[in-house]
């Protein structure tokens, strides 16, 4: 099978680039302890330098004895799972022990005896290197080896084979800095060559055709004895992964990882991120179909300093009227330093627009409490969304003790009630791990 768009190996005839991919016949049922390189060399003695072997992970796992007794496949998936990425019903997308994000951790109950499951190779890159070395020893040729497995993909229907391990193959072809056919500089083009090879091999191996090995010829430029990285180089790092979690898992993680941050870097805050957090805040539930939230964004250092200075003066005056010592006052003032250190401040406010007046103190007090609760829900949405934007925050109550001062300094309407201040910025250090809390201590069942 030939396909345009490849690149001819060195010394190939001139003309349009092409490559050839073929399945290898004669591979017997593989069992634990079998030498895959010897088996493949016997079935494909015509391998030449620059060929790429595409080996299905199932036969690698079988040869390495990765078949385990497991009446409960879910228990096997649990054992191979490092992190749940997304869950929908019984389907789980997880990060497994090999660092791969895939359905069911790669645990397979097909093509294996009843009552057993097949696990992925422990180290697919090492498995690929062992096959490569074995082919060199048996046939005296330098080939590339890609260990493949079947993946689903975000945003796309259907399955395809990808590379989970590789040896002697340039798994990524970095074209950044080069030019396209129109002379435009390529700034973000890094081609997943090993995945392309795996998918090409899958066209002839098939999912159930009994051909677990394929060979690609004519792409020798991708084969190199010193090609580094292996299949692990194809796994996107956590820092670069914009889709690290499913929707519900992302929300839950943002809520559990949202922490009060008291030390910030000098890095500026993206105002757009704050506005996106406000957009999330105003989706919170509220009584009578009202919108009781207002957010005052203090984006200039001058506005933050002016507000914090006025609040400090009002606070000190209150404490002196209470007879507190200067030492006590200094300690209390220092507690507000987190607001001064933050590069961005937000003052959430409560408005009672649309509230009902009942004419008796009990019901009117309950009406205000409903609006206060709604404001708190909005601020929680705000804080969680900031965490999702990788921004730290600290919600402190200080503005509630000097509302008149805040309204005057910020020129706010009389009916806007400041409900604390939120310091926003990039955390200076990662927060300490938070101990998990069981829901049992906070639940009463009737």
Domain boundaries, the chain: 2-66+121-240, 256-442
Q: Are 346 and 297 in contact (CB under 8 A)?
A: yes
Dihedral angle of Cα 173, 177, 181, 184, to the nearest 10 degrees: 140
Q: Give the start-end residues of each E strand in 203-332.
A: 213-217, 293-298
According to CATH, the superfamily of the domain at 2-66+121-240 is: CofE-like (3.30.1330.100)
Q: Distance between CA 45 and CA 345 in Å, rounded?
A: 70
The position carrying tokens 């088996």 is 39
Q: Are 145 and 55 in contact (CB under 8 A)?
A: yes
CA angle 407, 411, 415 (to 5 degrees): 50
Q: Give the start-end residues of each E strand in 274-342.
A: 293-298
Task: Return the pLDDT at 28.
Answer: 93
Please list the pLDDT of the chain residue by residue as tens digits (446 residues).
444 444 444 444 567 889 999 999 999 999 999 999 999 999 999 999 999 999 999 999 999 999 988 777 888 899 999 988 888 878 889 999 998 999 999 998 877 788 889 999 999 999 999 999 999 999 999 999 999 999 988 888 999 999 999 999 999 987 777 777 777 777 667 889 999 999 999 999 976 678 999 999 999 999 988 877 799 999 988 878 878 877 777 777 777 767 788 899 999 999 999 999 999 999 999 999 999 999 999 999 999 999 999 999 998 998 899 999 999 988 888 877 889 999 999 999 999 999 999 999 999 999 999 999 999 999 999 999 998 888 999 999 989 999 999 999 999 999 999 999 999 999 998 877 777 778 888 999 99
Distances (CA, A) of 41 to 29, 138, 337: 15, 7, 70
Q: Please, where are the H alpha helices in 4-107? A: 36-43, 57-63, 73-80
User: What b/e readout covers 41-66, taking b as 16+ CB neighbours within 10 angstroms?
Assistant: beebeebeebbbbbbbbbbbbbbbeb
The position carrying tokens 């645990």 is 107
Q: Distance between CA 224 and CA 170 in Å, rounded?
A: 7
- Answer whether 2-66+121-240 and 256-442 agree in fold: no
Q: Distance between CA 46 and CA 141 in Å, rounded?
A: 10
According to CATH, the topology of domain 256-442 is NADH Oxidase (3.40.109)
Q: Residues for the chain: how many in total?
A: 446
422: left (phi over 0), alpha (psi -120 to 50) or beta: beta
């Amino acid at each position: 099978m030939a396909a345009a768009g490849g690149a001819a190996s060195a010394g190939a005839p001139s003309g349009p680039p092409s490559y050839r991919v073929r399945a290898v016949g004669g591979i017997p049922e593989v069992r634990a302890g079998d030498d895959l390189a010897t088996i493949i060399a016997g079935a494909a003695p015509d391998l030449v330098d620059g060929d790429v072997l595409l080996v299905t992970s199932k036969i690698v796992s079988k040869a390495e004895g990765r078949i385990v007794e497991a009446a409960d496949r879910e228990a096997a998936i649990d054992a191979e799972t490092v992190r749940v990425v997304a869950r929908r019903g019984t389907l789980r997308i997880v990060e497994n022990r090999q660092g791969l994000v895939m359905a069911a951790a790669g645990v397979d109950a097909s093509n294996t005896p009843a009552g057993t499951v097949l696990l992925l190779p422990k180290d697919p890159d090492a498995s690929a290197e062992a096959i490569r070395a074995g082919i060199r020893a048996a046939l005296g040729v330098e080939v590339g080896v890609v260990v493949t497995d079947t993946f689903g993909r975000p945003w796309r229907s259907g399955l395809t084979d990808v590379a989970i391990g590789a040896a002697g193959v340039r798994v990524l072809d970095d074209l950044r800095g080069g030019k396209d056919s129109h002379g435009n500089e390529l700034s973000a083009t890094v081609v997943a060559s090993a995945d392309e090879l795996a998918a090409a091999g899958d066209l002839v191996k098939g999912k159930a055709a009994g051909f677990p090995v394929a060979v690609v010829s004519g792409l020798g430029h991708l084969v190199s004895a010193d090609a580094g990285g292996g299949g692990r180089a194809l796994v996107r790092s956590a820092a670069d992964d914009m889709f690290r979690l499913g929707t519900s898992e992302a929300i839950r993680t943002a809520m559990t990882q949202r922490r009060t941050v008291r030390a910030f870097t000098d890095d500026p805050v993206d105002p757009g991120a704050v506005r996106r957090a406000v957009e999330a805040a105003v989706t919170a539930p509220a009584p009578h179909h009202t919108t009781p939230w207002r957010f005052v964004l203090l984006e200039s250092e001058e506005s933050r300093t002016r507000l914090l200075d006025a609040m400090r003066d009002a606070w000190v005056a209150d404490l002196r009227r209470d007879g507190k010592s200067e030492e006590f006052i200094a300690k209390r003032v220092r507690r507000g330093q987190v607001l001064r250190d933050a590069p961005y401040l937000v003052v959430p406010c409560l408005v009672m627009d649309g509230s009902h007046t009942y004419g008796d103190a009990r019901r009117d007090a309950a009406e205000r409490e409903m609006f206060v609760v709604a404001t708190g829900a909005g601020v929680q949405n705000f804080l969680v969304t900031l965490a999702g934007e990788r921004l730290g925050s600290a919600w402190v109550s200080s503005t509630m003790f000097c509302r008149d001062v805040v309204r005057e300094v910020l020129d706010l309407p009389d009916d806007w009630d400041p409900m604390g201040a939120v310091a926003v910025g990039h955390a200076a250090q990662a927060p300490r791990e938070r101990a998990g809390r069981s829901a049992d201590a906070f639940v009463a069942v009737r």
